[in-house]
Amino acid sequence: MRTYDNPVIGGFHPDPSVCRVGEDYYLACSSFEYFPGVPLFHSRDLVHWRQIGNVLDRPGQLNLPDDTPASAGIYAPTLRHHDGRFYLITTDVRGKGTFLVTADRPEGPWSDPVLVDVPGIDPDLAWDEDGNCWCAVAGVTVSRIDPATGKVLEGPLPIWSGTGLQHPEAPHLYRVGDWWYLMIAEGGTADGHSVSVARARSPRGPYEPAPANPILSHRSTALPIQSTGHADLVTAPDGTWWMVLLGTRPRGWFPSFHVLGRETFLTPVEWADGWPRVGPVREQHPAPEAWHPVELPPVRDDFDAPTLAHSWISPRSRPDHSWSLTERPGWLTLDAKSGPAFFARRQQHPDCRASTRIDPGSGRAGLSVRMDEAHHYDIEVAGGVVSVVARIGPVGQRVAEYPVEPGPVTLTVDIAATDGDTRAPDILTFSVEGPEGAVELAELDGRYLSTQVAGGFTGRVIGMYVTEGEAAFDWFDYQEALR
């Protein structure tokens, strides 16, 4: 029997929302303080996903202020397809509030935002048989809206607040047969996360809860996947049902630490007595009937393409004057004259290696593993010296130095997950390419770059930065390290 491995999209890809158009599936995730916002993926089998773009890819759609804190920004999108058009609704929690964008093709271009005046986060869209559009938000309330203008036509109406656990959120409405099903997350997005369901004959309610709520929770278990919740449902062409959801993979000694953020998992769904039923989310499951592996773009970027790959993200904004692919062809040039520039990709594997070759010129530039501004490890080069710098909360410390000759230099971080009853979830080893090969400069404990220490809703990203002057990067390489 063919099986698939969870997570299906590793690394910081939380709050997945999925829709199917024919035999094609599309999935969107939260992006929080990063630009461009809302990564968008395509699959033909729910297992193999390829990023095809970012929904919010221009400042007119997403303009996060410089003081946007980590884990603010864009929360919990819902992706839907209706009458030949794609809709995505989400919330900018420190900016414009809830808004929706539309597109004829998932690759875009996506429209400018249409503001929707509904209170709350985690907005959902669903259409009834009369063509009415309903928007549910955390809480949980529902409003009838005009998606063309964002005007609220009815509501908000309180419909169901869950089973009594904290933070009823992530609502999704589905019409299945004669029933409207409301699926929510509750219990908070940490260890107590869960999925519960209620149903009614109308979107307005009244809703009756499922007798077996929560239908999914891994709390108080020893399962390797934890914090399961914030789910969305989809049907395959063969009539089978599937759930995408977020979860974490904690490691290390109590309380255990997860460093990749909340990732996207897939699990099968069955129906019994008129209710969806979900078993524990496993690291391996029997695969869907369709099986369409895709050719993923290379994880090594030589910066030879005319545009940046979809996977590159930056905190809050990416001003055009801060980067160039043409100033030095075949190199990515970053400019810090208007402030630090940082281009990163998500860490997606517990064991991995990231390297880059830098020509620092007279600037200060390097390779960083980041949770947020107060929690990151860096290896940088400036003034003929390579340094490893650890920033943990208010404390910053230079932990190693190594002299190098002027000119390009290769910097590397190796990340290795720990085994057994160890305090650290992983170890980060920083090295520089010397005249006789790699020179290890420092080994650092990975727990300080974890959600449990840093807080927030994101995961690690790894990338290139410049904080002084201008620097050029010949290539960046990220690889899963196989044991």
Give the whole-angstrom CA distance, residue 110 versus residue 131. 22
Task: Please tell me the distance from the alpha carbon of residue 241 to that of residue 443, in angstroms, as a whole number.
Answer: 45
Question: What is the C-alpha separation between 4 and 296, in angstroms, rounded?
Answer: 17
Helix, strand, coil fractions of the chain, as percent rounded to 5: 0, 50, 45
Contacts of 371 (CB under 8 A, 6+ apart): 70, 449, 450, 451, 454, 456, 458, 459, 460
Please give the structure tokens belonging to residue 465. 């930065």
Which of 33, 45, 124, 169 is catalytic? The answer is 169
What 8-state DSSP symbol labels residue 453?
H
d(CA 113, CA 102): 8
If you count them, how many residues does the chain have?
A: 483
Phi and psi, residue 128, nearest 5°: -95, 180
332 residue type, one letter: L
Q: Is residue 425 within 8 Å of 259, Cβ to Cβ?
A: yes
For residue 89, the cross-strand partners are 78, 100
CA-based nearest residue to 476, from 458, 462, 457 = 462
83: Cβ contacts below 8 Å, ≥ 6 apart: none
169 is annotated as an active-site residue: yes
d(Cα 420, Cα 427) in Å, to the nearest integer? Answer: 13
Q: Are 247 and 262 in contact (CB under 8 A)?
A: yes
Residues assigned a catalytic role: 15, 169
